[in-house]
Amino acid sequence: MIVEPNTIYAAGTVCWREGEQGLELLVIHRTVQQDLTFPKGKVDPGETLTAAAVRETWEETGLQVNLGVPLGKTRYSLTNGKTKEVHYWCAEVSEEALERSTFASNDEVESVHWLPVDRVAESLTYDLDREVFFRFLELAADDALQTFAIILLRHATALDASTYLPPDQTRPLATRGRHQAEIIVEPLLAFGPRKLVSSSSIRCRQTIEPLALATGKRVRLRDEISQHRFLGASLDIARVVQKRIDKAKTTVICSHGPVLPELLNEVLLATNAPMTSEMSNAIRLDTAAFMVLHLRVSDPTRGLIAWEAHDPLV
């Protein structure tokens, strides 16, 4: 994402659940503004959009959510001459999250309300919120709300290959890379990863280790997606990808720059989705950057719902 100096960035969610009256969405009633809107807020210094969306939802509603499909952004001018840009994601609210909600009326949010989907448009205060809501309706009509993600992560910065004498697969992260591996934990946690897969190379293992510690999940090591084994398209890589899609659980796959385009290609082949020039360029990730591919739980073979690329170091 290109950061514009005169733009204030914010992030939020459209939280949804299947209630007694069918599909329901959450709106907040803000205390000072006396409006009805979606939970959102400004990105803190050094914070990413995805982490901000989850944090703001928690602070304003008491709900811990994972991000689903992106809903785009809204932009509007402020009285100080700057522009505010708000990025949104879908977020399904589980029964467990509802039971654990800690919301209490406060100086910022007076109350939260679950509204049947047919009452949301008329209840929202702002036209820009209604635009986001209509995008949500398009996803709902396309059976694209219950989703999982395949997240392709490039390892963090490693020691220089030209000066490292042992076998390449043992080359560790540099000091900068270890810092990167810590920074990417929060933006990856925002998507609620349930499975972690890594190249067996040390630099990939060290990149995903902080995320494994944060989630308490075991990392599945795969030699097939390591750079020292990579020779292009192979049945081995296809099997790694297909297994993750068959499980339909959000998975982070940590691999190498040369391998990531083939991993992406295998996801597209398995889901009957076309490769676009934008995707082909986006998968050329910088170290510690990642691409998120959103798929339907009900039928991943219907193609990608959406994709997004993130560089937490920007």
pLDDT tens-place string over residues 92-150: 999 999 999 989 999 999 999 999 999 999 999 999 999 999 999 999 999 999 999 99
Looking at the predicted structure, is the pLDDT value of residue 314 above 60? no
On whether the CB atoms of residues 153 and 180 are closer than 8 A, the answer is: no
Q: Which three-class secondary structure state does DSSP give residue 15?
A: strand
**Residue 168 binned pLDDT confidence (cut-offs 50, 70, 90):** confident
Alpha-helical regions (H) of the chain:
49-61, 95-99, 117-123, 127-141, 175-183, 185-189, 202-215, 235-247, 260-271, 277-282
The whole-number pLDDT of residue 1 equals: 60
To the question of domain 7-141 being in CATH 3.90.79.10, the answer is yes
Q: Contact at 8 Å (CB) between 191 and 149?
A: yes
Report the DSSP beta bridge partners of residue 37: 28
Q: Region 15-29: what's the mean pLDDT? A: 94
Residue 165 pLDDT level (bands cut at 50, 70, 90): confident
Q: Which helix (H) or strand (E) segment is 37 a member of?
A: strand 36-37
For residue 43 the two structure tokens come to 């990105």
Pair 147, 136: CB distance under 8 Å: no
Q: Running DSSP on this structure, what letter comes out for residue 158?
A: B
Report in angstroms the alpha-carbon separations of 188 from 58, 199, 302. Answer: 16, 18, 25
Residue 233 has pLDDT above 70, yes or no: no
Residue 219: is its pLDDT beyond 60? yes
Beta pairing partners, 151? 252, 292
* Domain 147-310: CATH superfamily, name plus number: Phosphoglycerate mutase-like (3.40.50.1240)
C-alpha span between 240 and 225 (Å, rounded): 8
Q: Is the pLDDT of residue 303 over 70?
A: yes
Q: Tokens 């599945």 identify what position?
A: 220
**Closest to 299 in 3D by CA, of 132, 177, 148, 74:** 148
Q: What percent of the chain has pLDDT over 70?
A: 99
pLDDT at position 284, please?
97
Residue 170 scores a pLDDT above 90: yes
Is 90 exceeded by the pLDDT of residue 312?
no
pLDDT at 166: 83
pLDDT computed for residue 21 by the predictor:
77
Mean pLDDT of 34-50: 95
